[in-house]
Structure 1
């Protein structure tokens, strides 16, 4: 080799072109021969699987020698080109190109050598259970294959063989690491089908065993073998997958059940041969529906501290394994704690909110412990945020419970009623006197209408009182629910008070939407329920007038500035009650007119069948009025009752008057029959105006019939005319100033005279007097 270099570097510093070309050609042949031998050896070793270790070592030595010669020749050529660039640029450029090609081939051969040595060392490390070294060597081999792939001139069959061998070796390593993992971390689980319907008994078979986790000589810590396995898995990029599978089993079979079942706890046992075992157990049946936060935190910390001590206290790069597991499980377990524990620990009464500070502190301590073990990173978490926002959650829970309770009351039966008397007062809580209302004194056990104003002129004791009537018991309870909810808003935070106040408004809006729809058929079918619904709406409208005013001064802004009011809902409820009752009245009025339509227009009553039909129609009308009176007597307020019954009676007699006025010929016998039927109405009609049993002795309402029945006077005059003679009719007309003229027009009276009396001179004289 030295003689060859001496010949190349001539004493004069000049090289013969022909000699240099010959030597480069000779070197190229040598490189090609070496390349063929190396590729042949690699093919035999990794593609054809022929044992050729000794030959490969000799070839590696030969590759090194050729590489050194190439370096010397390259330097020589570069020096020669610089000295003679103006002489032989073209010739030397060609020679340099050939040389660079040979250099690339040498680099490829070096990568092949690197791959081979890395694979051999990896195999040896794997046999010695040096998993970290084996993983690192595989990474070296993969880097060599990646370098080879970067050159397009690389032979594809050879690369395919190398990649396949690398994949097989990596899978072999992963398999061994998996076996070690299974031997160190052992789950004992019930059949998967047993866990599908979440059952407490199925979870009692769950165990997690950490092998080799105990040692007599050293402190508790993860075993060295486990650390090596974890490091090797991390190098090969399979650690995240392993930990993810572990976290899923841990969550499903251990952590979540501990949160969901109050009677479930964890038992940690330590045995020298068996390691550490975490097993779920049920010490005693608990009466609690949900675990308390302190119970959940203590059980979870016991599991996580044990895992941290014997498994997760391992650093992978610049990150601990506990942090990796924490990222995988924290979001899911924190949501489970929120929805299965904290949600049910929220107080249902504002007086218990101060005690909830204990839960907030327990949550802070829980998260602090997790941060110390590096399960948690950062300061703000959803769990602690949820616990600290207890006021909002209290309001949300309270609002939800209130709406559910309100809807239940609205869909309950309406016919269970309570009597409202004039001295009835809605019970309101005692509230402190606002500074702005120092002149107003509120009694102990204040009621809505018992505010005594310092004024010489007192209102009547009956002012702003509800008239006696009956309302649904559920509506009374609904109003009490609204008052209690507003009491919760007093003294609460602004956001909480706003939520509670508008929930009360939503209660009334819900009543407006739900009740008419839910009870629609019954409200049209049963007069009793329609009357109760009318009273319910008027009762609520009555209290909505002053309810907001009573609480407004005790609520935070902007509620105290005038937002806290229900006055805008008063017309809505009054209209709702009126519409419901009017719809029922229209139904009853239609039935009443239908009964009168069977009277054959009250004509030809001398015919027995016609008289029977007319008499039956009148009796049915009276019976319908009495039935309505019985249903509504103790339900509606007296004034509403009288107006309603007066309207029905007025409808009946108006229809009778119209039918009689249409008759063109009324015989004396027909007149007697008509008089008899009308007299029945006059005698029995007023009886329906006895709204209460105690009113039998007081005929005031019967005497006031004309106030409620507009056509009552007209009807009575008609009855008189049916039996009167011509002179009596003329006298009652009294030149247009008598009682008959007050009810009928002259043409109507003339038509009656023509129908009742035959055409005689006396009738003609009488007709002339009706002007």
Structure 2
């Protein structure tokens, strides 16, 4: 039975390969198979170990019991639906009523609890006030207000809530008013300004009593302590600490509670650092004794003040006081450790009085950049010193330079490229390049140069940062000279010849030294690597141009004076006069006096060659103007010719005396011979003029243009045959 396969049997009966089959043919086969299966089933049941009949009987009884059970369940269901369900619905209704009643009770209970809590806090406030404890009273009022800000539902609708909150706010305002008054009693200050001095008084009534601590705790709980401490700290910084750092002050403890700070108003006064530190020690010692009362977990008023202003105070102290302690020379810098030790001790003191935090902060941070600060300080000092030198009187003079270039003995040189190079150098570079001619300069110019030399000597002893800064400062000194000296001495340079001469010489002397200053610097810096070039060559021509500029301006001024003298006299209107008035000769004499005055001022001040060239320029201009006055006239009377001859002869007599050597007039005055020839023409005859002409080869032909000489002859002599003959020869 277990191995019986229905599909296989059916496939055997119904052969799919049989083309035509009929159901009637297959039925007997199926019936036969069924009968076979029945016989097989019977055989199986007969041989089975189970009592089939008993099983069938038991199954029938179980079926009957099941049906009876179903009927009982149906009856139970009907009974539940008819009776129990009604009772359940009634119970649910009762539960809802009870829940709503409970909610009403809880609602009322919450309101009653809030009312009781408010009453409790009001009672605590009254107890704190009776005990004279501001902290307990403040805590109770704040708790009450906080409780009223978050009430249970319905409490806000009660008049009690509004009245209680209003009352609590009034109580708090009155309480804060009393607290602020107590704070004012504990800490107070007064500033009494005056024209000569300002007096600041600080009164601290803090002590170890519970009352003071209670006031501080109350302010802390009311969140107003930080504000009050901040106000005091800022006033302390502004009215006391900053003046102590910047002005002359006297700090004096009148009593244990009263401190007086007297600020004296002295213009341009900066107190020394040790005096500042001494005054600050007195002040902070007084503050520490009164304000270091611990009120909450190691907190003190002094700590709060320090937290508020210690950074700003330190910045001001460093910027306005301690920076000034940095020296401006290398010798003092080497002993700067003594000052830093004093500053470090002062910082430790501020930490002990709890003004500074114990760790993580130092007012000596600026020392880390000591090189930069020293460089800046030195640079500022040297520039200020240089400017002070530049403002000095230029007329305080000294002699400088050599009279003549010394002849150096010829040194024996080895044969080779070096000898040839030195020979070439001697040929191309004049010896005068390395010598400055004898003249007078202002002592201030030499002082300025000495100052730059001092900067150079100090720079080579310092670090690269300082050296570079001082090198740039040295360059700035000469640029500052260009800006300061001409501006400060402007009036003198426009009016006083000696000042112009000295200023010119100063510029030339400084320019002369600038040529080799860079090489001197490099020699001292030998062995050190630098990432920047050192040279002053580019400033040489600027300095020379500065001297040239003001000398040219003054020369133009002198020229204009000479021309104004001549043009304001009858020499300017020869053509309309037959005889010159006395003002013509007076103008010529005035010009000569002006030139003589320049000689007296300039000789010995300028180098000889410079003086000679300048005087030659002015005398030549004067002579050309005199010549021009005559050569442009169409008619000159005999009387006027005589007058002109006398005046021009006076010029010829006086002019050589204007030079250090009289012979210099012939070399440096281009119109000198022409003036003499003009005098000859004015006083000579036509025959004399013809002899000096010499058919175009005489001195008149050399110094006069043909047209000039023809016009001069026409103006001096009447139209005769002799004049015509002479004019025909002059072509």
TM-score normalised by L of structure 2 = 0.74
The answer for the alignment partner of 1:325 in structure 2 is 305
Question: Which residue, 86, 93, 116 being the options, matches 1:113?
Answer: 116
List alignment gaps of at least 5 residues for structure 1.
1-9, 32-65, 68-102, 214-222, 270-275, 283-288, 425-453, 691-700
Q: SS of 2:399's equivalent?
A: strand
The answer for the alignment partner of 2:509 in structure 1 is 539
Output the CA distance in 1 between the equivalents of 2:639 and 2:138.
125
- Superposed CA offset, 1:590-636 (max 9, x none): 1211222213457479945x153432332222222112222222322
Could you tell me how far 1:638 is from its partner in structure 2?
Answer: 1.8
Q: Does the aligned pair in 2 maintain the 1:552–1:559 contact within 8 Å?
A: no
The answer for the alignment partner of 1:650 in structure 2 is 620
Question: Which residue, 235, 250, 253 being the options, matches 2:221?
Answer: 235
Output the CA distance in 2 between the equivalents of 1:678 and 1:526.
28
Output the CA distance in 2 between the equivalents of 1:606 and 1:262.
79
Could you tell me how far 1:115 is from its partner in structure 2?
Answer: 2.5
Could you tell me how far 1:299 is from its partner in structure 2?
Answer: 5.6
Q: SS of 1:702's equivalent?
A: coil
Could you tell me how far 1:686 is from its partner in structure 2?
Answer: 1.4
The answer for the alignment partner of 1:345 in structure 2 is 325
Matches within 5 A, 1:230-379: 230-248=216-234, 250-251=236-237, 264=250, 277=257, 279=259, 293=273, 296-297=276-277, 300-301=280-281, 304=284, 307-308=287-288, 311-314=291-294, 316=296, 321-338=301-318, 341-371=321-351, 374-377=354-357
1:127 aligns with 2:130: yes
1:422 aligns with 2:421: no
C-alpha change, 1:346 and 1:756, in structure 2 (3 Å) is: same
Q: SS of 2:150's equivalent?
A: helix
The range that moved more, 167-176 or 566-575, is 167-176
Could you tell me how far 1:725 is from its partner in structure 2?
Answer: 3.6
Q: Does the aligned pair in 2 maintain the 1:359–1:387 contact within 8 Å?
A: no
Matches within 5 A, 1:571-650: 571-597=541-567, 598-601=569-572, 603=574, 607-608=578-579, 610=580, 612-650=582-620
Output the CA distance in 1 between the equivalents of 2:142 and 2:336.
55
- Superposed CA offset, 1:497-531 (max 9, x none): 33333333222222212322333333222223222
C-alpha change, 1:156 and 1:244, in structure 2 (3 Å) is: farther
List alignment gaps of at least 5 residues for structure 2.
1-84, 263-268, 405-420
Output the CA distance in 2 between the equivalents of 1:611 and 1:310.
98
After superposition, the CA RMSD in angstroms is 4.0
Could you tell me how far 1:397 is from its partner in structure 2?
Answer: 3.3
Output the CA distance in 2 between the equivalents of 1:182 and 1:120.
28
The answer for the alignment partner of 2:703 in structure 1 is 743
1:753 aligns with 2:713: yes
Q: Does the aligned pair in 2 maintain the 1:592–1:621 contact within 8 Å?
A: yes
Matches within 5 A, 1:195-206: 195=193, 199=197, 202=199
Q: Does the aligned pair in 1 maintain the 2:251–2:282 contact within 8 Å?
A: no
C-alpha change, 1:547 and 1:109, in structure 2 (3 Å) is: farther
C-alpha change, 1:12 and 1:365, in structure 2 (3 Å) is: farther
Q: Does the aligned pair in 1 maintain the 2:612–2:664 contact within 8 Å?
A: no
Q: SS of 2:434's equivalent?
A: coil
Q: Does the aligned pair in 1 maintain the 2:578–2:637 contact within 8 Å?
A: no
The range that moved more, 372-381 or 727-736, is 372-381
The answer for the alignment partner of 2:521 in structure 1 is 551
The answer for the alignment partner of 2:150 in structure 1 is 147
Q: SS of 1:154's equivalent?
A: helix
Number of equivalenced pairs: 622
C-alpha change, 1:665 and 1:280, in structure 2 (3 Å) is: closer
Output the CA distance in 2 between the equivalents of 1:575 and 1:291.
44
Q: SS of 2:678's equivalent?
A: helix
Q: SS of 1:192's equivalent?
A: strand
Q: Does the aligned pair in 2 maintain the 1:622–1:681 contact within 8 Å?
A: yes
TM-score normalised by L of structure 1 = 0.70
Output the CA distance in 1 between the equivalents of 2:272 and 2:229.
29
The answer for the alignment partner of 1:711 in structure 2 is 671
The answer for the alignment partner of 2:25 in structure 1 is none
Q: Does the aligned pair in 1 maintain the 2:619–2:669 contact within 8 Å?
A: yes
The answer for the alignment partner of 2:374 in structure 1 is 394
1:522 aligns with 2:502: no
Output the CA distance in 2 between the equivalents of 1:688 and 1:469.
18
Output the CA distance in 2 between the equivalents of 1:390 and 1:278.
40
The answer for the alignment partner of 2:78 in structure 1 is none
C-alpha change, 1:489 and 1:152, in structure 2 (3 Å) is: farther
Q: Does the aligned pair in 2 maintain the 1:420–1:469 contact within 8 Å?
A: yes
